[in-house]
Each structure stands twice: as structure tokens, then as C-alpha cells.
Structure 1
Amino acid sequence: MSYQVFARKYRPRTFADILGQDHVVRTLENAISQDRLAHAYLFVGPRGTGKTSTARILAKALNCTGGPKADFDPDEDICQEIAEGRSLDVLEIDGASNNGVEEVRQLRETVRFAPARGQFKIYYIDEVHMLTNQAFNALLKTLEEPPEHVKFIFATTEPHKILATILSRCQRFDLRPIPAETIAKQLLHIASEERIDLDEAAAWAIAKGADGGMRDAQSMLDQLVAFCGEKISEANVLDVFGFTSRETVAGLSLALLSQDSARALEIVQREADAGRELSQLLGELIGGLRALLVAGLDSEAGAEGIPAESWKKMVEAASALPTERLLAVIDIFAETEGRMRWATNKRLHLEIGLIKAVQSLGEVRINDVIKILAAGAQHLPETPAAPPTKPDAEPVPEPEPQAESKPEPKAAANAGESPLDTIDQMIAEAPDEPVEAVGKPKPKPAPKTETAPEKPKDEPKPAADDFYQDPLIQKALDMFEARIRK
């Protein structure tokens, strides 16, 4: 038998073998056991997450002996035919190369024929988003009302390119990226089966680099075996794929949290000289800071594969910082990651982002000032309450303000003031006694200065004609060429 790569040799054979997609497995198993099978299924997800494997396992469950049933025997001949792609009742079609109307018309003609051996005739179309709009429209009627013995299974990585009329006729299952911890455990299992000495740190490095794809991780492990032989360490993984070690991520995080810019820049320079991918380094750093945020809320949260000793130091350093500071640092790195995506000099943008992050940790913000003032206010002595005032106490009179010196009207006129301003000035200098001829009595004037003698109270009230004989009134009449009408 020819050599099989790990991605094919350890492909899932039953529902129990599917990793990281429990929500999909549970739904399909319940649908089979309750006999609630749909006529069309759509599997959506990134590469290497198990779309094709899940479709084949579903086909086995539908066409197995005595099926449909979820607990089928993967070693029976009909299931092996489906797994190897040579079953007459399960047709796998590549949507990229069979995307025209003619291919869909041929499919519609073959739909009428009954299955040769199994209970259903299953059409599996991979990369279904590659079909043209005309091909989708030609498939609509058959997809909506297929014969009872026909099932459609579609798989795609880009569901937004599929017509809404197609999506509404399918049951959609979104397959998620597989967690790094699950991938690392599976790699260690494969290594034990193949008698390969794989370090746990190396398995974590591969799992992080696979970015949620099990097939990518298995392919990398296959490549490492060809490079290293039967013993694989983390250093081998870093040398072959240019990944960043967990110790490097921990060291850069500690340098950042301790506000040591020189140390952080030194780590970046070392990684750049070693040919490491700096975008991947920044992504690992953001992941470490996120793990610290989660650890602040849940002490039982995972350490993202960082060694226990380094993780303990990171948690201690992060505990001295408020949560909003870590959030601000993550925001800065998110902006830096966006700029690095299209920049040619990625090292420059990463170094600028690190310097900004260190400065943000040392800034004094308004929240810090408010906290300090609130803490200090608790230690201040309480001020005694003012004694209540007696209800029958007489109010204390306010001190009378001293009279201001009155400028002469001539000085205002010489300064270029308007005639109205001059009249206002003259009225202000007019006698303080209320006069009946004016119309309304004037308000009580300000108190007199000491030089002005106070008039006796029994002085007789001046006549109305005396008002018009006042020099100021006469001057105003002359200025406006006015006369008095009685």
C-alpha cells in the first residue's frame, strides 16, 4: 500500500471522530435518530475544518446497512466505498470545474434515476459558490422539490457568493475554526500512533500556526517528520515555519507590562534578524494580552500554551494595571496590525506600536485622578454643621458701599461721546430728590459721601418749576434745541 499523508490517514470516519464541531454533530445525529432529514444541507466554514469529512460521514449514515442511523459501522463495504469516493450513489462534484448550466442540466436528468445500492442518491457539490448565477437558477426547482430518494449536500468557504434563493432552500451549518488546544491534542495522538517523539510545546506551536485548520496542522506535522525524523522539538517548528515561540511571546509581554521599551525593541530586532514573521508575532502578543484579560475575570482560564512560570509572572505584572489600560494597549496593537497588513516595512510599524503601548501604560488619565481624589476624600475630617439660626433674629444690615466719585459731564463730552451718552451722564448727576414733574419717581440713590451734608427731614419739597430751571436741564434743552410744553 502506498504512503498516505496524515491528513488522509487520520480523516474522521464517524461522527465521534469529528473534533471541534459538537454543535453540528449533535444536530445531525438528532435529525437522523428522529427521522427529520432535510433534502439539502449546506456546510460553511474555513479550510480544513471538516466540511468534506462531515459530508461523507453524513452520506455513510444515510446509506449504511439498515440506515439511516448515526452509529453505523465505518468498516462495512458500502461505507468504505463512500469514504474512498467510488460509490455509485454518492456523487462528489467539484463546483469550480462544473459550474455551467450544461453540467446542472445533466445533473437534473440523472436525479430521476433510483439509487443503485443505498437508500438515497446523494449529490455532494464542493465549493458550490463557484457556480454561475445561471447554473444556480437552473438548479432552483430541482433543489426545492427533489425526488424522495435524492439528498443534496453543499460545501463552501464563501457563503455570501451564493444566491439567497439557494440559501433559503438549505439547512445551513457553520463549522467553526478548531481550537488550538484541540488541534494540539490530536497532533500528540497522531505522534503516539506513529511512534514520533513530539514535544508538547512543538504541538502547541503547530496548532497556533494552523490557525484553526486541522488539515493544515496535520500537513505541517507530516513535513516536520520528513525534516526532523522521529524527534520533533519546538525549535524545529520555529526554524521550518518561522513561528514565534511561547517564551518569546511571554518575554515581549513582560517587557511591555513593565514598560521596558528597550527590552521590547531588542526582542523585535532579534526576531526580525532570525527571519520570523513579525505579523505573526504581533498576533501572538495580542492573544497573550487577551488571555491576561480573561484570566483577570476567570482564574481558571487557559494560558494559551505559555509555560507556567512565564504565565505566573505575566499575571502578576498585569494585576498591577487596571483593565482599561490593557484594553487601550490591545486597541493600539489592533491599529498596528491593520497598518502592518499592507506595509512593506513591518518592523517599523511594530516598533512604533510598542512604543505607543508603553507610553499609554505610563499616562495619567482623568480616571486615575478621580480615583485618587475619591480615596483622599475618605480620610478628610468631617466639617461640623452650621448652628441653626433663630427664627426671630433680626437680619444684620449689610455695610453701605461708599459713593463713587462723579466724573464731570464735560470730560465725557470731550472724549467723543454721543449726545445720548451725555444726557445719561447728566441725569446721573441730577439732584437725588424725586420730582413730580418727571413722571415716575426715581429710585432711591446711593448713600451720600461724608462731604455732602445731609438735608434736614423737614425741608420743604421743591416746586415743579424748579426742576426745569436746573442748569443741567437747561443745557440739555439748548443742545437739542427743545422747548417745554405745558
Structure 2
Amino acid sequence: MADTLDMDAPPPFDLPMAAPVAPAPAPEAYRVLARKYRPQTFRQLIGQDAMVQTLGNAIKRDRLAHAFLMTGVRGVGKTSTARLIAKALNCVGPDGQGGPTIDPCGQCEPCRAIAEGRHIDVIEMDAASHTGVDDVREIIEASRYAAVAARFKIYIIDEVHMLSKNAFNALLKTLEEPPAHVKFLFATTEVNKVPITVLSRCQRFDLRRIPAEKLAEHFAKVCAAEGVTAEGEALALIARAAEGSARDGLSILDQAIAHAGLEGGGVSAEAVRQMLGLSDRGAVRDLFGLLLGGDAGGALASLRRQYDHGVDPVSVLRALMEMVHGVTLAKVGGADDPAQALEEREARRDWATRLSFPVLHRLWQLMLKGHDEVAQAALPIEAAEMALLRVIHASQLPDPGELARRIAEGGALAAPPAPAPAPAAPPVAPVSLIPADFPAMVEALDAANQLALVARLRQGARLVRYAPPELVFSGSRPMSADTLAELASALKTLTRQVWKITLDDVPGEPTLNEAEAAADEARRQAMLKTELVQAAMAAFPDAELVWNSQRSSM
């Protein structure tokens, strides 16, 4: 007989039933700081107070435009502003009875849906990937229908300048006379590429670059919210590197926090410099002082130390340009940058009292030229060294104003004085290196390939006295200061001796060109007096003596 199963009998083993185990919640994905701290209200939108005030007044007075255009550099809040305007226009308040407001509540369903990017009546389109007329035609067709769950149907078109010409033309009529329930919000970084016909139909807001001090304050609040310690100088460095863009600055700060986490400390200025490849401000001040002091060896060694620490040579030149600019602003009485260290401000004020405007302008031009050369050079560090040597050489040249004063006073216009010699007797140039007279000196310069200088001397130099190593020219026909300084330098190279060049208010001798022309004319007159030439002129009364001054013959 087969066994039967008693359904009412207890099971053979009385095991406790385990409670169902709920799956562990997935960890929330990390959001970068630029997304996490995106402005959710107009109060959180930093650096755009004028625009916020204009929008607030327009909402209060019910003078809302049908199309807005936000323009500015990347990361200043164009798309965020468009979303905030969408929230402001569609907010209904916590009780559901509110109207358009410059302070959306952030609690009602429209505010939350717009913030999360899921509102059915707020449509965002990236014009970079939807450039054609068909994409715009879809917007035109959909704009005819009323909003489903909001007060206004909002179209946010990012990078609107990427739309094609035909797409812009298709949008014009709807943009000029849209339905009452539709608002267009455009954002672009290149407003010059937007057709003027579109610009004329929009209310335009130019979002400004965010000042560095406001960015630094914002980054400090972000660090406090994230529980991260950061040096004030580090945040100032990040703010300057962001160049007015909050998004760029938050991305750099994100990277700096990650770096600090690996190092086990807060965000330090030194770590930010290494991360961004920036020069240490103290090293830049030292290098700038060496340049002004004419210490070529010390300047090159300082540059190499920074290069060995991973600093880009272009960054060094850029930092030196910032230094020259800062000293110039300090000289004109500009306000101090609160983000700078105290020793930085004191050093700039000290240099401002010792450097003239012509010197600062010349330094700026030299630094700017060096920066461009290094940026394009195949050998950046070598190009940077040559640029610094050029700055040192130029710093030792007399000021143009000083040269003009010396010319007016008839003073010496020699090359920059050489370092003081040792106590031993100064070396004397061999006699063979010193030309016998002024024409021989000009010939020697010509042989040394100083062609441009020789041409100016032959044309304009009226000699008063030639007594090597001294030259005196007539001041009645002044020569340029550059020519005199160039002559002093060339003679020093040619004769290995420093020459003293002065001007005297006397007529002086004729220039070499004038003397040669006079001698040539004398030879021509002598030739006309010869019997052969006179006989030829008598036989041919209309004949003319053609004189070749190069060959001194007919």
C-alpha cells in the first residue's frame, strides 16, 4: 500500500523561516562640484546682480519679454540662468496659488520638476547637435499647443549660434510673434554669430565674468559645505586660473580636493601650483628682482629651478608679465588685490617707487614678446632663457628720455658703463685695433658688417674731433640717440675699449658723403678744363660731359 502524505502533519524539521532580505541600496553616484552646486535660486547666482535686478523688476511689473538671450564666456551661468527664469515664470508657490516671482520657492511641483529636468513644458535643446531646419520646425509645430501643466511653455536652446542659417530663418516669424503661452530662452558663447534679425527680437543679457574675489569666496563656502580645509591663497590661485568662470573654478577645486585627499591634508597653495603648473609667487618675485639687478647667472639659475620643479616656461613669462602689470598699477595708485599676499603687495609698491613708467612699459613689451616666442618655440626653456637675457640687456640701456636730455645738454652718450675694473691697471686696446682717422673707422665698421650704422654715419655725422677713445660730433645736426648708442657699442666691440661720444655746438666738418661729393665735383671740373675735353666741347657745342662718380671717368 502506498504511503499517503498528510497535509495537516507538521514538517519533519521545524526550521524558522528567514525574513526576506531587502537588497542593499546602491550607493549614490558622485556628482562633481560644478553640478552639485549649480545655482538653484537667483540669490545663488554670483556676479550677475544687474541682470537679476532687471529680471525682478520685469516680473514685478508684468513686463516679460517673449524671448531672452543670455551671452557670456563659458561657466558664468547662462544655462543656469535660463532654468532659473523657467522656474521663476512657472512657480506656483508651496500652496499652489503663487504667480511669477524672482524668488521661486523650489518646493512646488513645477520648481522641482524643472530643477530635475523632467518638466513636460520646459524643453531643452542643444543646438550643437540639432542644427537643422527640421529640428526648428518641430519647435514651431509644438509651440502652437498650450502648456500641459505649467503657466508657460519654455524652450531653452543652448549654444543657439550653432543653428544653421535656414534654421534661424525658419524661427524668425514664430520668434517675433509667438503664442502668449510660449517663452524662448537662448544661451550662447558667441553672440557675434547670431543673426542680427534674431538679436533684435530678443531681450539680451550679457553675463559678466565673475570677479576673482567673489569666486574665491564662493569656493570657500563650497569647501566648508564639503568639510574640506583650504588655504586662502590656494583658493585665490584657483579663482585666478578660472578666468571668471565658476564652472571652470569648481572643476579645478574638485581636482585639488582629490589631490589633497591622496596627500592626507587640506588644499594647499603649493599643491595647487604644482597641479596647475604655476610659478611660486616668491620665486617669481626673486626672479623679477634678479632681472632688474642685471644678474644674468642668477636669473637663469632661478628659471631652471622652476623648470626642474615642473613649471612651464610659458607660465613663468606669464607670471612676470603679471608682475610688471601689477607694479604699473601700483605706480598709478590702483587698488590692491585682496587675494594677494601681504609681501606681494609690499614688493610691488616698493618697485613702483623705484621704476619709471618708460622702464615699466619697455619691460612689458619685452615680456610680451618673450611670452609669444616661448609659446611658439620648439625649445621652450631655451627660448625663455634667451628672452630673460634680452630683458637683462635692455634693463642696462639708458632710458630714452635720459638720452634725449643728454643730447640737449651736449652730454656723453656712451654705452652703459662696464663693471668697475679690478685694482690692476686697465687693459689698453692694441694700437692696431684703433682706426687711424674717422674715415678709417667708418671703413672698419663697414668691414664688420655694420651696414645700417655706416649709412647713417656717412649721411649725418659731422665730425668735430677724433681722439680715440673719444669722439666729438657737431650738435648743429643732431644724430639720433639710438645711432649714438649703437656706435658706442660697435666701437667697443671693434676696439675692445669703451668710447666716450659727445656733442659740441660747433659746425663741424662736412659729412663723409658731402666730402666725397665735393671731391668728385672738383675732379669733374678739373676734367672739364683739360685740352682734350675743351676741344671736344668746341667741336660739338651741344655735347655734355657725362660723369660716372663711381669710376671718376667719362
Please indicate the TM-score interval, normalised by the length of the shorter structure.
0.7 to 0.9
Q: Distance in 1 between the 2:107 and 2:91 partners? A: 10
**Which of the numbers 302, 309, 333 marks the counterpart of 2:367?**
333
Aligned position for 2:208: 176
Task: Name the aligned partner's letter for residue 59 of structure 1.
Answer: A
**Which of the numbers 180, 189, 195 marks the counterpart of 1:148?**
180
Task: Name the aligned partner's letter for residue 317 of structure 1.
Answer: W
**Which of the numbers 43, 61, 68 marks the counterpart of 2:100?**
68
Q: Which has the higher contact order (CA 8 A, sep 6+)?
A: 1
TM-score (norm 2): 0.64
1:196 shift after superposition: 0.9
1:216-251 per-residue CA deviation (whole Å, 9 max, x = no partner) reads: 211222222222225121222123332223223333
Aligned position for 1:135: 167
Task: Name the aligned partner's letter for residue 135 of structure 1.
Answer: A
**SS of 2:272 mapped into structure 1:** helix
**Which of the numbers 200, 222, 232 marks the counterpart of 2:267?**
232
**Which of the numbers 141, 144, 154 marks the counterpart of 1:122?**
154
Aligned position for 1:198: 230
**Which of the numbers 109, 113, 123 marks the counterpart of 2:145?**
113
Aligned position for 1:443: none
**Which of the numbers 47, 53, 73 marks the counterpart of 1:20?**
47
Aligned position for 1:263: 298
1:110 shift after superposition: 0.5
Aligned position for 2:505: none
**SS of 2:171 mapped into structure 1:** helix
Task: Name the aligned partner's letter for residue 23 of structure 1.
Answer: A
1:280 shift after superposition: 2.7
Aligned position for 2:323: 288
1:141-190 per-residue CA deviation (whole Å, 9 max, x = no partner) reads: 11121111111111112223222322222222222322222222211111
Q: Distance in 1 between the 2:245 and 2:528 partners? A: 93
Contact conserved, 1:96 with 1:131, CA < 8 A, in 2? yes
Contact conserved, 1:254 with 1:317, CA < 8 A, in 2? no
**SS of 1:220 mapped into structure 2:** helix
Contact conserved, 1:253 with 1:314, CA < 8 A, in 2? no
Q: Any stretches of 5+ residues in structure 2 without a counterpart?
A: 1-27, 93-97, 412-525, 536-554
User: Aligned in 2, Cα 1:317/1:414: closer, same or farther, shift over 3 Å?
Assistant: closer
**SS of 1:197 mapped into structure 2:** coil
Contact conserved, 2:274 with 2:310, CA < 8 A, in 1? no
Contact conserved, 2:74 with 2:245, CA < 8 A, in 1? yes
Q: Distance in 1 between the 2:218 and 2:321 partners? A: 25
> What is the total number of aligned residue pairs between the two structures?
387
Aligned position for 2:75: 48
User: Aligned in 2, Cα 1:39/1:46: closer, same or farther, shift over 3 Å?
Assistant: same
Moved more, 18-27 or 122-131: 18-27
Q: Any stretches of 5+ residues in structure 1 without a counterpart?
A: 378-410, 420-486
Work out which of the two has the higher radius of gyration on C-alpha atoms and give 1 or 2. Answer: 1
1:370 shift after superposition: 4.6
Task: Name the aligned partner's letter for residue 336 of structure 2.
Answer: A
| Alignment of 1:88 onto 2:120 | yes
Contact conserved, 1:257 with 1:317, CA < 8 A, in 2? no
1:337 shift after superposition: 2.8
1:255-294 per-residue CA deviation (whole Å, 9 max, x = no partner) reads: 3333333333222212222222222332232222212211
What CA RMSD, in Å, does the superposition of the two structures yield over aligned residues? 2.8
TM-score (norm 1): 0.73
1:412 shift after superposition: 12
1:51 shift after superposition: 1.0
User: Aligned in 2, Cα 1:138/1:355: closer, same or farther, shift over 3 Å?
Assistant: same
Q: Distance in 2 between the 1:179 and 1:216 partners? A: 13
User: Aligned in 2, Cα 1:75/1:270: closer, same or farther, shift over 3 Å?
Assistant: farther
Identity value in percent: 41
**Which of the numbers 400, 403, 418 marks the counterpart of 1:366?**
400
